[in-house]
Amino acid sequence: MGRDRGAVSLPVAIQGIASLLMAMAGVPAWAAEGGGGSLIEVNGSLIIQIINFLILLVVLYRFMYRPLVGALENRSAAIKQQLAEAQDAREQAQRQLAVMEERIRSAHAEAQATRDRALQDAAALRERLSAEARQEASRLVEAAQAQIAGEVRRARAELRAEVGQLATEVAERLIRRSLRDDDHQRLMAEALARIEPA
pLDDT string in tens for the chain (198-residue length): 445 544 556 666 666 666 666 655 554 444 445 545 556 666 788 889 889 999 998 998 888 888 888 899 999 999 999 999 999 999 999 999 999 999 999 999 999 999 999 999 999 999 999 999 999 989 999 998 888 988 888 888 888 888 778 777 777 776 666 656 777 678 778 878 877 655
Q: What is the pLDDT of residue 45?
A: 86
Is 185 domain-assigned? yes
Where a domain ends, among 53, 71, 89? 89
Is 138 domain-assigned? no
Is 23 domain-assigned? yes
CB-count exposure of residue 94 (10 Å: 0-12, 13-18, 19+): exposed
Q: Which domain holds residue 159?
A: 150-195
Is 97 domain-assigned? no
Is 21 domain-assigned? yes
Amino acid code (one letter) for 65: Y
pTM, full prediction: 0.37
Is 119 domain-assigned? no
Q: What is the pLDDT of residue 135?
A: 92
24 close to 41: Cβ distance less than 8 angstroms: no
Report in angstroms the alpha-carbon separations of 106 from 101, 102, 103, 109. 9, 6, 5, 5
167 close to 191: Cβ distance less than 8 angstroms: yes
List all residues 6 or more positions away from 50 whose beta carbon is below 8 Å from its beta carbon: 21
Q: What is the pLDDT of residue 118?
A: 93
69 close to 3: Cβ distance less than 8 angstroms: yes
How many domains in the chain?
2
Where a domain ends, among 60, 89, 118? 89
Where a domain ends, among 89, 108, 136? 89
Is 144 domain-assigned? no
What three-state secondary structure class fits 168?
helix
Is 35 domain-assigned? yes
